[in-house]
Structure 1
Protein backbone atom coordinates (compact mmCIF):
# COMPACT_ATOMS: atom_id res chain seq x y z
CA UNK A 1 0.00 0.00 0.00
CA UNK A 2 1.36 3.41 -1.00
CA UNK A 3 0.80 6.31 1.35
CA UNK A 4 0.27 9.92 0.32
CA UNK A 5 3.95 10.67 0.96
CA UNK A 6 5.03 7.96 -1.46
CA UNK A 7 6.38 5.62 1.25
CA UNK A 8 5.21 2.05 1.55
CA UNK A 9 3.41 1.48 4.86
CA UNK A 10 3.57 -1.88 6.59
CA UNK A 11 0.42 -3.90 6.68
CA UNK A 12 -0.59 -4.53 10.29
CA UNK A 13 -1.43 -8.12 11.14
CA UNK A 14 -3.25 -8.90 14.36
CA UNK A 15 -1.79 -11.37 16.81
CA UNK A 16 -0.68 -12.22 20.35
CA UNK A 17 3.09 -12.02 20.56
CA UNK A 18 4.73 -13.85 23.40
CA UNK A 19 7.78 -16.09 23.25
CA UNK A 20 8.21 -19.39 25.07
CA UNK A 21 9.81 -18.81 28.46
CA UNK A 22 10.50 -20.75 31.65
CA UNK A 23 10.47 -19.00 35.02
CA UNK A 24 11.81 -20.21 38.35
CA UNK A 25 10.35 -18.29 41.27
CA UNK A 26 10.69 -19.03 45.00
CA UNK A 27 7.59 -19.62 47.09
CA UNK A 28 6.60 -16.30 48.61
CA UNK A 29 8.18 -14.30 45.78
CA UNK A 30 6.49 -12.39 42.97
CA UNK A 31 6.42 -12.90 39.21
CA UNK A 32 5.35 -10.84 36.17
CA UNK A 33 4.26 -12.43 32.88
CA UNK A 34 3.69 -10.38 29.76
CA UNK A 35 2.73 -10.68 26.13
CA UNK A 36 2.22 -8.05 23.44
CA UNK A 37 -1.09 -7.84 21.58
CA UNK A 38 -0.83 -6.40 18.10
CA UNK A 39 -4.40 -5.19 17.59
CA UNK A 40 -3.76 -2.69 14.75
CA UNK A 41 -6.08 -0.17 16.40
CA UNK A 42 -9.08 -2.54 16.35
CA UNK A 43 -11.33 -3.61 19.22
CA UNK A 44 -10.32 -6.64 21.25
CA UNK A 45 -10.45 -8.25 24.67
CA UNK A 46 -7.68 -10.23 26.33
CA UNK A 47 -6.94 -12.35 29.36
CA UNK A 48 -4.50 -14.92 30.76
CA UNK A 49 -5.12 -18.66 30.79
CA UNK A 50 -3.59 -21.27 33.10
CA UNK A 51 -3.24 -24.91 32.03
CA UNK A 52 -3.91 -27.53 34.72
CA UNK A 53 -2.47 -31.04 35.00
CA UNK A 54 -5.63 -32.56 33.51
CA UNK A 55 -5.06 -30.47 30.34
CA UNK A 56 -7.91 -28.09 31.08
CA UNK A 57 -7.34 -24.35 31.11
CA UNK A 58 -9.05 -21.64 33.10
CA UNK A 59 -9.01 -17.85 32.94
CA UNK A 60 -6.87 -16.19 35.58
CA UNK A 61 -9.10 -13.71 37.40
CA UNK A 62 -8.03 -10.59 39.25
CA UNK A 63 -7.60 -11.35 42.97
CA UNK A 64 -5.54 -10.33 45.98
CA UNK A 65 -2.57 -12.25 44.53
CA UNK A 66 -3.24 -12.05 40.78
CA UNK A 67 -3.19 -8.63 39.08
CA UNK A 68 -4.19 -8.38 35.42
CA UNK A 69 -3.47 -5.12 33.58
CA UNK A 70 -3.32 -3.80 30.01
CA UNK A 71 -0.69 -1.17 29.16
CA UNK A 72 -0.65 0.61 25.79
CA UNK A 73 2.68 0.37 23.94
CA UNK A 74 1.77 2.16 20.70
CA UNK A 75 -1.28 2.92 18.55
CA UNK A 76 -1.19 -0.66 17.23
CA UNK A 77 0.13 -2.55 20.26
CA UNK A 78 -0.71 -3.12 23.92
CA UNK A 79 0.92 -5.22 26.63
CA UNK A 80 -1.05 -7.75 28.64
CA UNK A 81 0.51 -8.12 32.10
CA UNK A 82 -0.14 -10.72 34.78
CA UNK A 83 1.54 -10.15 38.14
CA UNK A 84 1.45 -12.96 40.69
CA UNK A 85 2.10 -11.78 44.25
CA UNK A 86 3.26 -14.11 47.02
CA UNK A 87 3.67 -17.12 44.73
CA UNK A 88 2.36 -20.46 46.00
CA UNK A 89 2.96 -24.00 44.85
CA UNK A 90 -0.51 -23.98 43.28
CA UNK A 91 0.65 -21.23 40.87
CA UNK A 92 3.04 -23.64 39.15
CA UNK A 93 2.09 -24.56 35.60
CA UNK A 94 1.70 -23.23 32.05
CA UNK A 95 0.36 -19.74 31.25
CA UNK A 96 -0.51 -17.98 28.00
CA UNK A 97 -2.40 -14.87 26.99
CA UNK A 98 -5.53 -15.17 24.89
CA UNK A 99 -7.06 -12.47 22.69
CA UNK A 100 -10.53 -12.25 21.16
CA UNK A 101 -11.01 -9.91 18.21
CA UNK A 102 -14.11 -7.94 17.34
CA UNK A 103 -14.93 -10.34 14.45
CA UNK A 104 -15.06 -13.26 16.93
CA UNK A 105 -11.70 -14.83 16.02
CA UNK A 106 -9.08 -15.71 18.65
CA UNK A 107 -5.32 -15.57 19.02
CA UNK A 108 -3.07 -17.00 21.72
CA UNK A 109 0.58 -16.57 22.65
CA UNK A 110 3.12 -19.31 23.34
CA UNK A 111 2.97 -21.08 26.70
CA UNK A 112 5.13 -19.81 29.56
CA UNK A 113 6.25 -22.38 32.13
CA UNK A 114 6.26 -21.29 35.79
CA UNK A 115 8.21 -23.44 38.27
CA UNK A 116 7.88 -22.71 41.98
CA UNK A 117 10.99 -23.49 44.00
CA UNK A 118 11.17 -24.08 47.73
CA UNK A 119 12.20 -21.22 49.94
CA UNK A 120 11.21 -17.66 50.59
CA UNK A 121 11.65 -14.47 48.64
CA UNK A 122 15.21 -13.33 48.02
CA UNK A 123 14.73 -10.24 50.21
CA UNK A 124 13.85 -12.45 53.16
CA UNK A 125 16.85 -14.68 52.42
CA UNK A 126 19.11 -11.65 52.35
CA UNK A 127 17.69 -10.32 55.62
CA UNK A 128 18.12 -13.74 57.22
CA UNK A 129 21.77 -13.92 56.11
CA UNK A 130 22.47 -10.41 57.42
CA UNK A 131 20.94 -11.28 60.80
CA UNK A 132 22.91 -14.53 61.05
CA UNK A 133 26.21 -12.84 60.15
CA UNK A 134 25.59 -9.96 62.58
CA UNK A 135 24.79 -12.41 65.38
CA UNK A 136 27.94 -14.41 64.63
CA UNK A 137 30.13 -11.28 64.71
CA UNK A 138 28.57 -10.16 67.98
CA UNK A 139 29.03 -13.58 69.60
CA UNK A 140 32.58 -14.13 68.33
CA UNK A 141 34.38 -11.99 70.97
CA UNK A 142 32.39 -13.63 73.76
CA UNK A 143 33.18 -17.14 72.48
CA UNK A 144 36.87 -16.32 72.06
CA UNK A 145 37.03 -14.84 75.56
CA UNK A 146 35.43 -17.92 77.10
CA UNK A 147 37.73 -20.22 75.15
CA UNK A 148 40.76 -18.30 76.34
CA UNK A 149 39.63 -18.44 79.95
CA UNK A 150 38.94 -22.16 79.80
CA UNK A 151 42.18 -23.04 78.02
CA UNK A 152 44.52 -20.98 80.21
CA UNK A 153 46.08 -22.98 83.05
CA UNK A 154 47.00 -21.45 86.37
CA UNK A 155 50.68 -22.16 86.88
CA UNK A 156 51.26 -23.92 90.20
CA UNK A 157 54.27 -22.52 92.02
CA UNK A 158 55.95 -24.72 94.65
CA UNK A 159 55.13 -23.69 98.18
CA UNK A 160 58.23 -22.42 100.04
CA UNK A 161 59.39 -24.77 102.71
CA UNK A 162 59.12 -23.16 106.08
CA UNK A 163 61.45 -24.32 108.79
CA UNK A 164 60.74 -23.31 112.35
CA UNK A 165 63.65 -22.82 114.69
CA UNK A 166 63.27 -22.75 118.43
CA UNK A 167 65.10 -20.31 120.58
CA UNK A 168 67.78 -22.86 121.37
CA UNK A 169 68.70 -22.93 117.68
CA UNK A 170 67.58 -26.49 117.05
CA UNK A 171 65.25 -27.36 114.27
CA UNK A 172 61.69 -28.11 115.09
CA UNK A 173 61.48 -31.82 115.74
CA UNK A 174 57.69 -31.93 115.69
CA UNK A 175 57.85 -33.78 112.40
CA UNK A 176 60.22 -36.45 113.73
CA UNK A 177 58.86 -39.66 115.20
CA UNK A 178 58.29 -39.52 118.98
CA UNK A 179 61.17 -40.76 121.18
CA UNK A 180 60.52 -43.10 124.11
CA UNK A 181 60.88 -41.51 127.56
CA UNK A 182 64.26 -41.97 129.27
CA UNK A 183 64.59 -45.09 131.38
CA UNK A 184 64.61 -44.77 135.12
CA UNK A 185 67.28 -46.65 137.02
CA UNK A 186 65.92 -49.76 138.71
CA UNK A 187 66.17 -49.39 142.54
CA UNK A 188 68.31 -51.97 144.26
CA UNK A 189 66.60 -54.39 146.63
CA UNK A 190 67.44 -53.98 150.28
CA UNK A 191 68.78 -57.03 151.87
CA UNK A 192 68.13 -57.75 155.52
CA UNK A 193 71.19 -57.45 157.68
CA UNK A 194 72.47 -60.77 159.01
CA UNK A 195 71.21 -61.70 162.47
CA UNK A 196 73.89 -61.91 165.08
CA UNK A 197 73.76 -64.84 167.36
CA UNK A 198 73.04 -64.06 171.03
Structure 2
Protein backbone atom coordinates (compact mmCIF):
# COMPACT_ATOMS: atom_id res chain seq x y z
CA UNK A 1 0.00 0.00 0.00
CA UNK A 2 1.33 3.42 -0.93
CA UNK A 3 2.23 5.77 1.92
CA UNK A 4 -0.54 8.25 1.08
CA UNK A 5 -3.13 5.47 0.85
CA UNK A 6 -1.93 4.08 4.21
CA UNK A 7 -2.20 7.56 5.73
CA UNK A 8 -5.76 7.98 4.39
CA UNK A 9 -6.73 4.53 5.67
CA UNK A 10 -5.30 5.23 9.12
CA UNK A 11 -7.10 8.59 9.23
CA UNK A 12 -10.40 6.93 8.30
CA UNK A 13 -9.88 4.33 11.04
CA UNK A 14 -9.16 7.00 13.64
CA UNK A 15 -12.25 8.99 12.67
CA UNK A 16 -14.41 5.85 12.52
CA UNK A 17 -13.18 4.70 15.94
CA UNK A 18 -14.16 8.02 17.48
CA UNK A 19 -17.54 8.05 15.72
CA UNK A 20 -18.37 4.49 16.80
CA UNK A 21 -17.28 5.17 20.37
CA UNK A 22 -19.54 8.25 20.46
CA UNK A 23 -22.54 7.08 18.43
CA UNK A 24 -22.31 3.31 18.29
CA UNK A 25 -21.54 0.77 15.58
CA UNK A 26 -24.60 1.77 13.57
CA UNK A 27 -23.23 5.27 12.94
CA UNK A 28 -23.79 6.34 9.35
CA UNK A 29 -20.89 5.53 7.02
CA UNK A 30 -21.70 8.79 5.26
CA UNK A 31 -21.22 10.60 8.59
CA UNK A 32 -17.85 8.91 9.10
CA UNK A 33 -16.76 9.97 5.59
CA UNK A 34 -17.96 13.52 6.23
CA UNK A 35 -16.06 13.70 9.53
CA UNK A 36 -12.93 12.45 7.77
CA UNK A 37 -13.36 15.07 5.03
CA UNK A 38 -13.55 12.44 2.29
CA UNK A 39 -16.28 11.23 0.01
CA UNK A 40 -18.29 8.12 0.79
CA UNK A 41 -16.70 6.43 -2.23
CA UNK A 42 -13.26 6.92 -0.67
CA UNK A 43 -14.41 5.32 2.58
CA UNK A 44 -16.00 2.42 0.69
CA UNK A 45 -12.87 1.92 -1.41
CA UNK A 46 -10.92 1.24 1.78
CA UNK A 47 -13.75 -0.51 3.66
CA UNK A 48 -16.41 -1.88 1.30
CA UNK A 49 -18.76 -2.87 4.16
CA UNK A 50 -19.48 -1.82 7.72
CA UNK A 51 -18.13 -5.20 8.86
CA UNK A 52 -14.86 -4.61 7.00
CA UNK A 53 -14.52 -1.30 8.84
CA UNK A 54 -15.34 -2.92 12.19
CA UNK A 55 -12.88 -5.72 11.47
CA UNK A 56 -10.11 -3.24 10.78
CA UNK A 57 -10.92 -1.39 14.01
CA UNK A 58 -11.30 -4.49 16.17
CA UNK A 59 -8.52 -6.64 14.71
CA UNK A 60 -5.76 -4.85 16.62
CA UNK A 61 -7.64 -5.21 19.89
CA UNK A 62 -8.44 -8.85 19.17
CA UNK A 63 -4.82 -9.56 18.28
CA UNK A 64 -3.80 -7.95 21.59
CA UNK A 65 -6.33 -10.12 23.47
CA UNK A 66 -4.98 -13.22 21.76
CA UNK A 67 -1.39 -12.28 22.61
CA UNK A 68 -2.42 -11.45 26.17
CA UNK A 69 -4.04 -14.88 26.50
CA UNK A 70 -0.75 -16.47 25.45
CA UNK A 71 1.12 -14.47 28.09
CA UNK A 72 -1.47 -15.11 30.80
CA UNK A 73 -1.40 -18.82 30.07
CA UNK A 74 2.30 -18.90 30.87
CA UNK A 75 2.49 -16.54 33.83
CA UNK A 76 -0.77 -16.53 35.79
CA UNK A 77 -2.80 -19.07 37.70
CA UNK A 78 -5.56 -20.57 35.55
CA UNK A 79 -8.33 -18.68 37.39
CA UNK A 80 -6.51 -15.33 37.38
CA UNK A 81 -5.63 -15.71 33.71
CA UNK A 82 -9.23 -16.44 32.75
CA UNK A 83 -10.64 -13.55 34.80
CA UNK A 84 -8.06 -11.09 33.51
CA UNK A 85 -8.71 -12.05 29.88
CA UNK A 86 -12.48 -11.93 30.40
CA UNK A 87 -12.26 -8.45 31.92
CA UNK A 88 -10.15 -7.24 28.99
CA UNK A 89 -12.53 -8.75 26.44
CA UNK A 90 -15.53 -7.03 28.01
CA UNK A 91 -13.66 -3.71 28.08
CA UNK A 92 -12.60 -4.10 24.44
CA UNK A 93 -16.12 -4.95 23.29
CA UNK A 94 -17.53 -1.99 25.23
CA UNK A 95 -15.03 0.43 23.67
CA UNK A 96 -16.85 0.12 20.35
CA UNK A 97 -20.42 0.65 21.45
CA UNK A 98 -22.85 -1.58 19.63
CA UNK A 99 -20.18 -3.72 17.96
CA UNK A 100 -20.97 -6.71 20.17
CA UNK A 101 -24.02 -7.53 18.05
CA UNK A 102 -21.87 -7.68 14.92
CA UNK A 103 -19.27 -9.76 16.77
CA UNK A 104 -21.85 -12.28 17.95
CA UNK A 105 -23.31 -12.57 14.44
CA UNK A 106 -19.88 -12.84 12.80
CA UNK A 107 -18.92 -15.91 14.83
CA UNK A 108 -21.57 -17.92 12.98
CA UNK A 109 -21.16 -16.28 9.56
CA UNK A 110 -18.04 -17.49 7.77
CA UNK A 111 -18.64 -14.90 5.04
CA UNK A 112 -18.42 -12.02 7.52
CA UNK A 113 -15.34 -9.82 7.39
CA UNK A 114 -15.28 -10.08 11.19
CA UNK A 115 -15.47 -13.88 11.32
CA UNK A 116 -11.78 -14.80 11.37
CA UNK A 117 -10.86 -12.14 13.93
CA UNK A 118 -13.72 -13.12 16.23
CA UNK A 119 -13.01 -16.84 15.95
CA UNK A 120 -9.32 -16.36 16.76
CA UNK A 121 -10.10 -14.15 19.74
CA UNK A 122 -12.79 -16.55 21.02
CA UNK A 123 -10.33 -19.45 20.70
CA UNK A 124 -7.84 -17.66 22.96
CA UNK A 125 -10.49 -17.35 25.68
CA UNK A 126 -11.52 -20.98 25.15
CA UNK A 127 -7.90 -22.07 25.73
CA UNK A 128 -7.83 -20.18 29.04
CA UNK A 129 -11.16 -21.69 30.03
CA UNK A 130 -9.94 -25.22 29.16
CA UNK A 131 -6.79 -24.62 31.20
CA UNK A 132 -8.89 -23.47 34.18
CA UNK A 133 -11.17 -26.48 33.76
CA UNK A 134 -8.18 -28.85 33.62
CA UNK A 135 -6.88 -27.23 36.80
CA UNK A 136 -10.20 -27.84 38.52
CA UNK A 137 -10.93 -24.15 39.02
CA UNK A 138 -13.68 -23.65 36.42
CA UNK A 139 -16.92 -25.49 35.85
CA UNK A 140 -16.72 -28.09 33.12
CA UNK A 141 -20.22 -27.75 31.70
CA UNK A 142 -19.38 -24.65 29.63
CA UNK A 143 -17.19 -24.21 26.57
CA UNK A 144 -15.57 -21.39 24.63
CA UNK A 145 -18.83 -20.53 22.86
CA UNK A 146 -20.57 -20.18 26.22
CA UNK A 147 -17.74 -18.02 27.54
CA UNK A 148 -17.94 -15.78 24.45
CA UNK A 149 -21.72 -15.45 24.87
CA UNK A 150 -21.37 -14.58 28.56
CA UNK A 151 -18.64 -12.04 27.82
CA UNK A 152 -20.76 -10.55 25.04
CA UNK A 153 -23.69 -10.28 27.41
CA UNK A 154 -21.56 -8.47 29.95
CA UNK A 155 -20.31 -6.06 27.30
CA UNK A 156 -23.87 -5.41 26.12
CA UNK A 157 -25.07 -4.81 29.68
CA UNK A 158 -22.26 -2.31 30.20
CA UNK A 159 -23.53 -0.35 27.19
CA UNK A 160 -27.03 -0.01 28.63
CA UNK A 161 -27.44 3.19 30.65
CA UNK A 162 -29.64 1.49 33.24
CA UNK A 163 -27.20 -1.41 33.75
CA UNK A 164 -23.85 0.38 33.42
CA UNK A 165 -23.63 1.27 37.13
CA UNK A 166 -24.01 -2.44 37.97
CA UNK A 167 -21.61 -3.72 35.30
CA UNK A 168 -18.75 -4.47 37.69
CA UNK A 169 -21.06 -6.25 40.12
CA UNK A 170 -22.55 -8.31 37.29
CA UNK A 171 -19.06 -9.16 36.03
CA UNK A 172 -18.24 -10.65 39.44
CA UNK A 173 -21.53 -12.56 39.54
CA UNK A 174 -20.76 -14.16 36.18
CA UNK A 175 -17.15 -14.90 37.13
CA UNK A 176 -18.28 -16.54 40.36
CA UNK A 177 -20.67 -18.70 38.30
CA UNK A 178 -17.81 -19.78 35.99
CA UNK A 179 -15.20 -20.49 38.64
CA UNK A 180 -15.46 -23.31 41.15
CA UNK A 181 -14.79 -22.64 44.82
CA UNK A 182 -11.09 -23.49 44.29
CA UNK A 183 -10.79 -20.79 41.64
CA UNK A 184 -12.98 -18.13 43.22
CA UNK A 185 -9.97 -16.17 44.42
CA UNK A 186 -9.72 -14.85 40.85
CA UNK A 187 -13.23 -13.42 41.08
CA UNK A 188 -12.25 -10.71 43.51
CA UNK A 189 -11.86 -7.13 42.23
Normalised by the size of structure 1, how large is the TM-score? 0.23
More strand by share: 1
User: Which is helix-richer, 1 or 2?
Assistant: 2
Structure 2 length-normalised TM: 0.24
